[in-house]
Amino acid sequence: SQQGEEDPQALSIQEGENATMNCSYKTSINNLQWYRQNSGRGLVHLILIRSNEREKHSGRLRVTLDTSKKSSSLLITASRAADTASYFCATASGAGSYQLTFGKGTKLSVIP
């Protein structure tokens, strides 16, 4: 079953604007990760945020995590046409084997 649910399902913005994608999940987690997938390609790891962290930055990416609301957001600042892709949040949970449960993704289109 898919734990994470991204919102919105699709997002279209102009180049230079900021893009915000949200992810909600249902059960407690060890960490939450964001991945990017270009059309026809594999998944690329963007950023990992642990359950005891609230915010993390990587270049133009900013991720927040609110464990009380079981939600996370991914902000891409100053978007570029090359950011056009699908973005997935994935949660890691459980004390035993480590595996990721993915949401359905947000399809981002950045218009030049």
Partner 1 sequence: EAGVAQSPRYKIIEKRQSVAFWCNPISGHATLYWYQQILGQGPKLLIQFQNNGVVDDSQLPKDRFSAERLKGVDSTLKIQPAKLEDSAVYLCASSEGYLSGNTIYFGEGSWLTVV
Binding residues for partner 1, total number by CB under 8 A: 27
Using CB under 8 A as the binding rule, whether residue 54 contacts partner 1 is answered as no
Per 3-state DSSP, what percentage of the chain is helix, strand, and coil (rounded to 5)?
5, 55, 40
- Cα–Cα distance, 105 to 97 (Å, whole number): 24
Of the candidate spans 12-20, 65-73, 74-82, 102-110, the one that interacts with partner 1 by CB under 8 A turns out to be 102-110
**Among residues 6 and 83, whose Cβ is nearest to partner 1?**
6
Chosen residue from 76, 85, 101, 110 binding partner 1 by CB under 8 A: 101
Q: How far are the Cα atoms of 8, 64, 66, 90, 109 from residue 52, in angstroms, in the given order?
A: 26, 11, 10, 16, 32
Q: Which is nearer to partner 1, 41 or 78 (CB)?
A: 41
Q: How many degrees, rounded to 5, is the angle at CA 76 between CA 29 and CA 54?
A: 35
- Determine, following the binding rule CB under 8 A, whether residue 35 of this chain makes contact with partner 1: yes
Can you tell me the distance from the alpha carbon of 107 to that of 42, in angstroms, rounded to the nearest whole number? 15
Residue 45 interacting with partner 1 (CB under 8 A): yes
Which residues sit at the interface with partner 1, rule CB under 8 A?
Answer: 2, 4, 30-31, 33, 35, 40-45, 48, 50, 88, 90, 92, 96-105
